[in-house]
């Protein structure tokens, strides 16, 4: 039997489908600080969510198993994904992300609240380098590395269909490049530097298949949006370009944003 410390490596490796990977992931207790925090948050709760039964487990990726576009963030929010059990659901970052995907025709609805709201993604899978909510939204390098086998295996399983990846934020960019390298992509040295709108093409290390295009995008955090560092138009532009690279029929708004 796996110990808590080696569970991610062994459990991820033996998962043959994304559904099996998700089933294994939600049992993970490899990072004591994150386990304590996610469960403590669920006990204390915010007053606005006092009637909720929090998920309080690792949050798996969300979206179809044959997605051609993957979006990676940082980690679930303590009262967002850690409460609802779905990536980018229940917080303002997710409100903007899913509303933009809906605007582009890549999601079935513009507002999301919980696992039972009927949301579907079309050709898109949303995931994260760290699957448990971290204190202050800051996982440690050790927690990031411990969680990496999950993202690596997810990207391996998506390889037959995925054509582009959007990494939200510098943390997501670096963690995603590391996971892609372990998933069989050739990452240049030195690694490409993160920036909003930056893109890099990663060839398969084994020479089989087409390059994968990775896009950088400022994170959809409340701070970035409130300060204007990331506007809805900026997010929409990157997601539309990534969808085009993935071969998805994204629609563009008929009128420009004022």
Model confidence band, residue 257 (pLDDT cutoffs 50, 70, 90): very low
Checking phi first, is residue 242 left (phi over 0); if not, alpha (psi -120 to 50) or beta?
alpha
Print burial letters for 215-240: b (CB count within 10 Å at least 16), e (below 16). bbbbbbbeebbeeeebeeebbbbbbb
Average pLDDT over residues 145-156: 98
Q: What predicted TM-score, i.e. pTM, was given to this entire model?
A: 0.94
Average pLDDT over residues 53-71: 98
Average pLDDT over residues 155-167: 98
End-to-end CA distance of the chain: 58
The percentage of residues in the chain with a pLDDT greater than 90, rounded to a whole number, is 93
Q: Is the pLDDT of residue 139 over 50?
A: yes
The residue with tokens 């996610």 is 38
**pLDDT for the residue 253:** 59
Average pLDDT over residues 48-68: 97
Burial (CB count within 10 angstroms: exposed 0-12, middle 13-18, buried 19+), residue 18: buried
111 vs 102: CA distance, rounded Å = 9
Mean pLDDT of the chain: 95
What Å distances lie between residue 31 and 4, 70, 72, CA to CA? 8, 25, 20
Q: Is the pLDDT of residue 255 over 50?
A: no
Average pLDDT over residues 39-53: 96
**pLDDT for the residue 258:** 40
């Amino acid at each position: 039997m796996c110990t808590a410390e080696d569970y991610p490596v062994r459990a991820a490796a033996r998962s043959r489908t994304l559904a099996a990977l998700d089933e294994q992931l939600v049992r993970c207790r490899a990072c004591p600080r994150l386990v304590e925090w996610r469960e403590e948050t669920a006990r204390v709760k915010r007053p606005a969510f006092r009637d909720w039964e929090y998920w309080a487990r690792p949050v798996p990726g969300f979206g179809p198993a044959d997605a051609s576009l993957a979006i990676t963030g940082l980690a679930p929010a303590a009262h967002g994904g850690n409460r609802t059990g779905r990536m980018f659901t229940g917080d303002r970052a997710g409100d903007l992300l899913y509303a933009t995907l809906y605007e582009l025709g890549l999601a079935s609805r513009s507002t999301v609240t919980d696992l039972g709201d009927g949301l579907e993604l079309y050709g898109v899978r949303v995931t994260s380098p760290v699957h448990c909510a971290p204190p202050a939204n800051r996982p440690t390098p050790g927690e990031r590395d411990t969680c990496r086998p999950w993202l690596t295996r997810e990207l391996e399983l998506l390889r037959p269909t995925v054509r582009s990846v959007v990494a939200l934020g510098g943390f997501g960019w670096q963690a995603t490049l590391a996971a892609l390298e372990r998933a069989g992509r050739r990452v240049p040295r030195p690694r490409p530097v993160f920036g909003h709108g930056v893109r890099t093409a990663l060839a398969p290390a084994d020479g089989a298949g087409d390059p994968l295009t990775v896009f950088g995008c400022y994170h959809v955090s409340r701070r970035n949006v409130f300060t204007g560092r990331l506007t809805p138009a900026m997010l929409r532009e990157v997601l539309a370009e990534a969808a085009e690279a993935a071969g998805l029929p994204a629609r563009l708004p008929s009128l420009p944003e004022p």
